Amino acid sequence: MAQSSDKPVWLITGCSTGFGRELATILIGRGYRVAATARDPERIADLVAGHEANALALKLDVDNATEIAAAVAATAQTFGRIDVLVNNAGYGYLSAVEEGDDADIRAMFETNVFGLAAITRAVLPHMRAQKSGAIVNVSSQGGFIGFAGVGYYNATKFAVEGLSEALAKEVAPFGIKVLIVEPGPFRTDWAGRSLKVPKAPIEAYAETAVARRNMIRGYTGSQPGDPVRAAEAIIATVESADPPLRLPLGSIAFEGMTAEIESVRREIASVEAIARGADYPKGA
């Protein structure tokens, strides 16, 4: 049964910890209508306790098509619409390319890319029908910059960014916005809980992949990013009159991405003659 509230309806994946949990906490506290999801809904029961009129705790593993359909249907049936989908569920894999285990790589792609795409496809018919909505895809600065030791994670986030760019162009005529969120290091438990490591590490990569692996593990608890401020920034950007396609979060992400843009610009400029020389000669 649809609620009478006119507050926007947010469907958020991966709410047990991190950005998903902070977003759900803030939105529910403000009276927004929120479908918070997690693989184990018991872990988010506290989020909706006392807010049953405007919040749901739903079971959702984005790798499970049946659970995706059920979560989307429950949200639409309860609140009458879906205004914002936040694709936050995902995890990382700290591995040099050579160290990668095929099963672990494919499992991460299933969650970070294919799960995100599947729930997006399930929500879009609702947004097209109402001619409005926003899709928020949580990427990373690692979706814009490749780092040694996280190549496969980078690959999933680069895929999310490419998908999001195309999606933004496809759904704009329906009044649907797309926002790519690109955090740097934030003080969540991502590095402690949401990371996998190689089954067979290779010490030859001690100065590159292994060094970054150790750096990330040792960073936990001292990251400069504040997840509460990040959640506030996401909400404010989604609700702005003209939201951007990309939202870097944190000084490290902003500075790193700015430097990457300049580096790519210089590199492409340096090969302009070679690039143009690959065309058929004019008049041929």
pTM of the model as a whole: 0.93
Poorest-confidence range of 138-152, 220-234, 242-256, 268-282?
220-234
Judge whether 153 counts as a catalytic residue.
yes
- Region 74-97: mean pLDDT is 96
pLDDT tens across 93-138, in order?
999 999 999 999 999 999 999 999 999 999 999 999 999 999 999 9
Residue 76 has pLDDT above 60, yes or no: yes
Judge whether 222 counts as a catalytic residue.
no
Residue 207 has pLDDT above 70, yes or no: yes
Name the DSSP letter for residue 95.
Answer: B
Judge whether 4 counts as a catalytic residue.
no
Determine the distance from the C-alpha atom of residue 220 to the mean position of all C-alpha atoms in its chain, rounded to a whole number: 20
With beta carbons less than 8 A apart as the criterion, state whether 88 and 23 touch: yes
Poorest-confidence range of 39-48, 170-179, 186-195, 220-229?
186-195
273: amino acid identity, one letter: A
Q: Name residue, tokens 């001619």.
A: 131
Render the burial of 156-188: b for 16+ CB within 10 Å, e for the rest.
bbbbbbebbeebbeebeeeebbbbbbbbbbbbb
Nearest by Cα to 17 from 35, 2, 34, 38: 38
pLDDT tens across 161-181, in order?
999 999 999 999 999 999 999
Out of 16, 153, 164, 205, the active site residue is 153
Residue 148 has pLDDT above 70, yes or no: yes
With beta carbons less than 8 A apart as the criterion, state whether 7 and 33 touch: yes
Structural domain 9-251, CATH architecture: 3-Layer(aba) Sandwich (3.40)
Out of 157, 164, 177, 205, the active site residue is 157
Question: What is the percent of the chain with per-residue pLDDT over 90, rounded to a whole number?
Answer: 84
Out of 16, 32, 95, 139, the active site residue is 139
